[in-house]
Amino acid sequence: MHAVKHQLDFEKPILELQRKLDDLKSHPEVHPLQVNFEAELAGIEGKIAETRRAIYMNLTAWQRVQIARHPKRPFTLDYLERAFSDFQELHGDRLYADDRAMVGGFARLDQRKVMVLGTQKGRDTKENIRRNFGSAHPEGYRKALRLMRLANKFGLPIITLIDTAGAYPGIGAEERHIAEAIAVNLREMMVLAVPVIAVVIGEGGSGGALGIGVADRVLILENAYYSVISPEGCAAILWKERSAAAKAAEALRITAQHLLELGLADEIVPEPMGGAHHDPAAMAATLKDHLARNLEALLAIPAEERLRLRYAKYRAQGHFAEKKPPGLQPEPLPPG
């Protein structure tokens, strides 16, 4: 199993048992001779497995948010390396600058040529500054739109990977019209003739996520979340204290299972126990399988019908207190 540091608070019981196991393995001579050494090792290993199952099978919404933000969690470029091949990054929006918080380019999914783009965070302070902590400026969304239009021109399916706390809310972003850039993306993605698949791989923060999230199929990783506001921001508004973030996370209904039930996500991509960061290679392989299956299903639908279904999908969302308008229920895709 992939070794992981940065243990989360709720993982402390697992860490304590693991330390006890490591201590026993490292210094067996300090334990009484009458103790059955192998049996004690097996007992602790069994207890670790049992504790892991008890914790990870009963995660709260806030705990899933913490996993989604884990600093060792695979990012967009990690999936581009492991789940795709022949990635050729393209740069710049041809208007202002190249936003390093948004990456994208040509790639292959198995033998299918695709356009892949997504938000990218950094692993350390230097890289986070370069990537702006995964929060794109207007030029990032305009670069994404340029690449999507290019894909549409050449008939290439589009795959987007979403992992951002939100679009950058600074003065410069406002001066260069961040809201307009996102709004144009929403409009233009609705009419792309090629198949579009969006995947929330970590954080799905409000308009920053939506700017590359309008798709025929929206997938979400098991421990990712998608929300109009962060739990901390919601807690500060409703309860006047950020410490109520756990309560806010539950109220917002932002986990993968909630989103599937609400019809805002189409499919949950399972993660290794404990989160994608525990086994990035296995996570990438699982995501690749889900992407390939959904892409083949979408390619089997004529473009005109795909556009109709995409429109119906989004027009049907949000009708929870009222009856849905007739004829707007999206029809299920044929089996992959």
What does the pLDDT look like over 273-325, one tens digit per residue? 999 999 999 999 999 999 999 999 999 999 999 999 999 999 988 766 655 55
- pLDDT at position 324, please? 59
Tokens of residue 221, six digits: 């990783």
- pLDDT at position 19, please? 73
Angle at 167 between CA 162 and CA 170, to 5 degrees: 160
Give Cα separations from 55 to 7, 74, 129, 158 (angstroms). Answer: 13, 21, 34, 36
Length of the chain: 336
Q: Residue type at 220?
A: I
Give Cα separations from 21 to 51, 71, 75 (angstroms). Answer: 14, 25, 31
What does the pLDDT look like over 125-167, one tens digit per residue? 999 999 999 999 999 999 999 999 999 999 999 999 999 999 9
Q: What is the distance between the alpha carbons of residues 179 and 170, in angstroms, rounded to a whole number?
A: 12
Q: What is the distance between the alpha carbons of residues 328 and 170, in angstroms, rounded to a whole number?
A: 38
Q: What is the DSSP string of 230-259?
A: -HHHHHHHHTS-GGGHHHHHHHHT-BHHHH
- pLDDT at position 221, please? 97
- pLDDT at position 25, please? 67
Q: What is the distance between the alpha carbons of residues 167 and 182, in angstroms, rounded to a whole number?
A: 9
- pLDDT at position 243, please? 86
Q: What is the DSSP string of 13-65?
A: HHHHHHHHHHHHHH-GGGS-TTS-HHHHHHHHHHHHHHHHHHHHTT--HHHHH
Q: Which helix (H) or strand (E) holds 336?
A: none
- pLDDT at position 124, please? 92
CA-nearest of 182, 177, 191, 192 to 212 is: 182
- pLDDT at position 3, please? 44
C-alpha torsion sign, points 291, 292, 293, 298 = positive
Q: What is the distance between the alpha carbons of residues 13 and 212, in angstroms, rounded to a whole number?
A: 39
- pLDDT at position 322, please? 58
- pLDDT at position 327, please? 56
Is residue 164 within 8 Å of 69, Cβ to Cβ?
A: no
Q: What is the distance between the alpha carbons of residues 208 and 40, in angstroms, rounded to a whole number?
A: 51
Residues of the chain scoring pLDDT < 50: 1-4, 34
| pTM for the whole structure | 0.86
Q: Residue type at 33?
A: L
Tokens of residue 147, six digits: 């690449």
C-alpha torsion sign, points 158, 162, 164, 167 = positive
Half-sphere exposure of 117 (CA within 13 A, CB side): 32
